[in-house]
């Protein structure tokens, strides 16, 4: 099963992809996570990506397409996957289609997680994470036992720099201008499925699994 998760920042792509990949035994590939890891480790890719990420802009297509091509060549994607945060522009979607076609492969479904801007802003302004163990929290729904401190290891929680209000506003604009055209790209290829993604996590997971498993 080769899937793409689409949706605005904060729509729950990462949260849901983690759970569903575990359930289906397929790989979760998040370009955002790979880039953040690169920034943290000071790799070439991370160094080049940092300024774009901090401003809520997209990293240039070539850097991202090369990263995915590398993953494909390594065989890491051979047993099924969810792509979370890629593709994010029409040129990326075309490059993915062409890279997969060379391996006689393709995307089976592109699933759009549908949420309102108000919900996105609420979720991202409440998001905190532990820089040590990566545990995620969301205020006020998922509070740690002691405010600002990770339950697992007592480390002080942080916010993603791109979750600051002005950057979120730009990420939403970038989503509308540069990413939302790929909704039509997948619709025209008859691969697009839409799932309402507000409400209880478990119910959204079930709705996604239903769409994924349908013929
Ligand atoms: P990336 O990390 O992909 O950012 P994003 O798409 O903006 O994704 P988020 O992680 O913010 O949202 P999500 O939809 O995964 O939601 P999540 O599950 O985390 O990319 C970051 C940057 O990297 C980009 O801005 C760009 O610069 C660069 N980049 C990455 N890929 C690129 C590409 N292909 N091309 C170019 N540049 C690229 O949930 C968010 C919060 O909401 C969490 O706290 C979660 O707990 C909470 N939540 C989730 N579901 C619910 C629910 N049902 N109810 C209540 N809270 C919920």
- Report the CATH number at residue 77: 3.40.50.300
Domain that holds residue 196: 2-115+179-213
Say what the pLDDT of residue 70 is. 94
Say what the pLDDT of residue 140 is. 87
Query: Looking at the domain assignment, is residue 109 inside a domain?
Result: yes
Query: Looking at the domain assignment, is residue 37 inside a domain?
Result: yes
Cβ(15) to ligand 1 under 6 A?
Answer: yes
The rounded percent of the chain whose pLDDT value lies above 70 is 100
Gap between the Cα atoms of 123 and 138, Å rounded = 7
Query: Looking at the domain assignment, is residue 138 inside a domain?
Result: no
The pLDDT tens digits for 109-154 are 999 999 999 999 999 999 999 999 999 999 988 999 999 999 999 9
Query: Looking at the domain assignment, is residue 62 inside a domain?
Result: yes
Instruction: Give the Å distance between the CA of 10 and the centre of ligand 1.
Output: 5
Cβ(172) to ligand 1 under 6 A?
Answer: no
145: number of CA atoms within 13 Å, CB side? 6
Query: Looking at the domain assignment, is residue 199 inside a domain?
Result: yes
Query: Looking at the domain assignment, is residue 17 inside a domain?
Result: yes
Average pLDDT, the chain: 96
Structure-block tokens of residue 123: 């979720």
Structure-block tokens of residue 108: 């089976």
Say what the pLDDT of residue 173 is. 97
Query: Looking at the domain assignment, is residue 141 inside a domain?
Result: no
Query: Looking at the domain assignment, is residue 77 inside a domain?
Result: yes
Torsion of CA 199, 196, 22, 215, to 10 degrees: 140
The DSSP bridge partners found for residue 200 are none
Say what the pLDDT of residue 215 is. 83
Cα angle for residues 211, 213, 215 (degrees, 5° grid): 90
Per the structure, the count of domains in the chain is 1
Query: Contact, 4 vs 92, CB < 8 A?
Result: no
Cβ(112) to ligand 1 under 6 A?
Answer: no
Say what the pLDDT of residue 34 is. 95
pTM: 0.96
Residue with the smallest CA separation from ligand 1 atom 46 is 138
């Amino acid at each position: 099963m080769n899937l793409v998760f689409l949706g605005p920042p904060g729509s729950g792509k990462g949260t849901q992809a983690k759970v569903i990949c575990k359930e289906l035994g397929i790989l979760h590939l998040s370009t955002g996570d790979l880039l953040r890891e690169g920034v943290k480790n000071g790799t070439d890719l991370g160094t080049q990506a940092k300024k774009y990420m901090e401003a809520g802009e997209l990293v240039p297509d070539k850097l991202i397409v090369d990263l995915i091509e590398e993953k494909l060549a390594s065989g890491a994607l051979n047993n099924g996957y969810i792509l979370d945060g890629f593709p994010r522009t029409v040129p990326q979607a075309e490059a993915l289609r062409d890279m997969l076609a060379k391996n006689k492969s393709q995307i089976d479904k592109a699933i759009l997680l549908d949420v309102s801007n108000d919900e996105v802003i609420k979720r991202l302004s409440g998001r905190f994470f532990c820089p040590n163990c990566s545990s995620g929290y969301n205020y006020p729904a998922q509070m740690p036992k002691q405010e600002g401190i990770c339950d697992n290891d007592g480390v002080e929680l942080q916010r993603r720099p791109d979750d600051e209000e002005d950057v979120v506003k730009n990420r939403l604009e970038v989503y509308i201008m540069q990413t939302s055209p790929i909704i039509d790209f997948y619709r025209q290829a008859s691969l697009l499925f839409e799932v309402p993604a507000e409400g209880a996590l478990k119910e959204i997971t079930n709705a996604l699994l239903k769409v994924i498993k349908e013929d």
